[in-house]
Amino acid sequence: MRPSQVLVSGVSGPELTNDEIHLFRKIQPGGFILFTRNIVDPWQTRQLTDSLRDLCEETPLIAIDNEGGRVWRTAPFSPACPSAAVLGRLNKPKLIAEAGWITGRLLSILGINLNLAPVLDLDHHPGSSNALNGRCWGAFEQDVINHAGVFNRWQRRQGIAGCAKHFPCGGRAAVDPHHTLPTVQIDQEEILREDIIPYTALMPELDAIMVSHLHFPQIDRNGLPASLSSNIIKRLLRDRLGFDHQLVLTDDLDMGAIQQTYGTPEAARMSIEAGGDLVLLCHQFMNAEESIAQLEKISPSMFYDIEIRIERAKKRLKIPPPYSEEAFATIMRDLSTLRESVPLEESEHGSGENPASPVENY
């Protein structure tokens, strides 16, 4: 396989530029990730995803963050599903199933095949500035298993792959990895007692796992974030826990936690060497060839298992249905009905969340 197949690239705007068309056609990335900057209306979004598929020799992953609440990239034309925190507090499986069902249908008609959700982090620090406010399904592992499992199950029934995050325990961070590298003083056995349980319980239903940019000094003594650590990806996630079939991807390599020390090209190589399958280049993607140059230093034998996992994941993807305004309108009606089912006091504003301050990359 081409080393470039491990890259998941951002796109600059609602339409591909000539430079992007030339780059993507040349390097053939394994996938793309969309943000609010790429989205104007449903038909434009579907045209963009169709254009991305047309550029690729193999079916690309086309990812987005549509968790619900303030992390809802299709907000320019679609009101958000209630957040994980809101639905978790209500503890109504039927509403959670409807949220996953509607989310899956919406992404499918837009030509998107991978939702970077659900969050499996336990909410250890509610209200802290760790980028997770309102995004966790609960503070206890069984609540997360019950709620996130239902959401993921129903989005997958619509042909959308799900991605659990942020392994091993993003909820332990007290600061935001978008800006700096959080350090978490906890040993592996304590993580296994609590934070890992949702991953192992839901393992058969997980298509992919996103590894966090958090540093665990008691697990990795080399100062590496989890996303670049073979102790965490290969030894813990792959070997000890048995996650050998799921795709493993990094959080965005353009985050401050990575940029302050490594830079994107070196981090891309280190993540793959540590046992990962895919790396996210969400913003500085026009420099992707620098990362490819680093990836080409890796022994070709290391790409053997990656190729198998990527091919297995892509075989499960469905061809997007034809776009129609009628189908989209039906999804919007169902979404409105869901939102009306949530009591006013449990709305996003009433939950202490701040919908006006979304972060562009998670």
Give me the amino acid identity at 153. R
pLDDT at res. 130: 65
Q: How far is CA 65 from CA 116, 154, 281, in A?
A: 5, 16, 14
pLDDT at res. 181: 75
Three-state SS annotation for 211-280? ECCCECCCCCCCCCEHHHCCHHHHHHHHHHCCCCCCEEEEEECCCHHHHCCCCHHHHHHHHHHCCCCEEE
Q: Would residue 251 show up in a list of annotated catalytic residues for this protein?
A: yes
Catalytic position from the list 121, 207, 251, 254: 251
pLDDT at res. 361: 45
> Does pTM top 0.85 for this prediction?
yes
pLDDT at res. 183: 85
The widest CA-to-CA distance across the chain, in whole angstroms, is 56
Tokens of 41: 């209306």
- Please give the torsion angle defined by the CA atoms of residues 131, 137, 139 and 140, in that order, rounded to the nearest 10 degrees: -150
Q: Which helix (H) or strand (E) holds 55?
A: helix 42-55
3-state secondary structure of 183: strand
Contacts of 21 (CB under 8 A, 6+ apart): 55
Give bridge partners of residue 115 from the DSSP assignment: 64, 162
What does the alpha-carbon distance between residue 241 and residue 235 come to, in Å, rounded to a whole number? 9
Instruction: List, in order of start, the domains of the chain with CATH numbers.
Output: 12-344 (3.20.20.300)
Catalytic position from the list 124, 178, 215, 283: 178
pLDDT at res. 358: 41
pLDDT at res. 348: 52
Q: Give me the tens of pLDDT residue by residue for the chain, a chain 362 residues long.
A: 999 999 999 999 999 999 999 999 999 999 999 999 999 999 999 999 999 999 999 999 999 999 999 999 999 999 999 999 999 999 999 999 999 999 999 999 999 999 999 999 999 878 776 678 899 999 999 999 999 999 999 999 999 999 999 999 988 877 766 777 778 899 999 999 999 999 999 999 999 999 998 899 999 998 899 999 999 999 999 999 999 999 999 999 988 878 888 889 999 999 999 999 999 999 999 999 999 999 999 999 999 999 999 999 999 998 999 999 999 999 999 999 999 999 865 655 433 333 333 445 44
